[in-house]
Amino acid sequence: MERPYVIGLDLGGTNAVFGIVDRNANIVAQTSVKTQDYSTVEDFVDACMHSLNNIIDETGGIGNIYAMGIGAPNANYRKGTIEKAPNLVWAKGIVVPLAKMFSDRLGLKVAMTNDANAAALGEMIYGVAKGMRDFIVVTLGTGVGSGIVVDGNLLYGHDGFAGELGHVTMVRGDEGRLCGCGRKGCLEAYCSATGVARTAREFLQRDTRPSLLRNIDPNKIESYDVYKAAVQGDAIALEIFEFTGKMLGEACADFAAFSSPEAFVFFGGLTKAGDYLMKPIRESYEKHVMPIYKGKAKILVSTLDGAGAAVLGAAALGWSVEI
């Protein structure tokens, strides 16, 4: 009999969320473990197995599970390792063979990829990119990540680290904003949630117009504050989204020249800004893209439920494993 479920693990800096997922994107059981409560990966995996065994039993036992997929920061798909992840206490500065550890404990095949690639698989199998063979997922969260699908497969590149589109250079030279990667002018430094907050601080400083955002300590402004102000018609907040969307559209125009995708799928917290962000992205993309690509690519927002999306993405990776 066909095994009806996979295990999906969304491994974040705060929570490790496990879901048992069927082929129709139903998360039939879920549990979680606090990622940071363990100082070694062995202790972390022990705690995970304890919680995980409960939901495996609830759903009919390990015989019902096809495989496991993990979406994690700094994951190396080729090696099944997490490499020097600064946000995971038990993986700081070291290489952790997490896929093998779970595989040994579960007796299942386990695949692991980075969060944005997992999101792309989730979109392809369960989401708005269902049936597409060429598309790009752009995740707009604390950083800007990407998962690139080419002819039905994730693009991994020579070393497994392809698809870091948050780190293409949008502002060249010294005037570019310093990025977390140590370079200047990266897309991520402008168009992540934290980039939007930086833009807010810049716009408020160079300008004397009144704005709802002036009621907030500039150092505490978050992208959600900008959204709330935009909803109330705040001119500066609207300009911040215009600026962000315009740059994302220009970046996507360059990405089109690379892989000519059927769609760009935006995913993550910032997309809650809806048309405040998506309208300038679409306009800027069509304005800047090369003539042969005009009017072709769709600019979409993920429809996967925010909370479950990362688990579904990891589950999709699980389904992609050959057993």
Among 182, 217, 233, 323, binds a copy of itself (CB under 8 A): 182
- Within 13 Å and on the Cβ side, how many CA atoms surround 33? 24
3-state secondary structure of 7: strand
Question: Does the protein bind a copy of itself through residue 29 (CB under 8 A)?
Answer: no
Question: Does the protein bind a copy of itself through residue 169 (CB under 8 A)?
Answer: yes
Name the residue among 136, 109, 140 with its Cα closest to residue 124: 136
Amino acid making up residue 52: L
Q: Select the span of 54-62, 101-109, 117-125, 128-136 touching a copy of itself (CB under 8 A).
A: 128-136
Q: How far, CA to CA in Å, does 82 sit from each of 55, 63, 111, 137? A: 25, 28, 12, 21
Tokens of 75: 């994951």
Among 224, 259, 320, 321, binds a copy of itself (CB under 8 A): 259
Residues between 296 and 315 that touch a copy of itself (CB under 8 A)? 296-297
With CB under 8 A as the rule, give the number of residues binding a copy of itself.
45
CB 146 within 8 A of CB 164: yes
In the bound state with a copy of itself, the residue whose beta carbon lies nearer, of 97 and 160, is 160
Question: Does the protein bind a copy of itself through residue 295 (CB under 8 A)?
Answer: no
CA dihedral defined by 76, 79, 84, 90, rounded to 10 degrees?
110
In the bound state with a copy of itself, the residue whose beta carbon lies nearer, of 94 and 290, is 290
Residue recorded with tokens 């990025």: 179
Residue 152's region, left for phi above 0, alpha for psi from -120 to 50, else beta, is left
Q: Select the span of 17-25, 37-45, 157-165, 193-201 touching a copy of itself (CB under 8 A).
A: 157-165
3-state secondary structure of 322: coil
Question: Does the protein bind a copy of itself through residue 164 (CB under 8 A)?
Answer: yes
Q: Select the span of 12-20, 34-42, 105-113, 246-254 touching a copy of itself (CB under 8 A).
A: 246-254
Residues that bind a copy of itself (CB under 8 A): 132-135, 148, 150-151, 153, 155-165, 167-172, 181-183, 250, 253-255, 257-262, 288, 290-293, 296-297
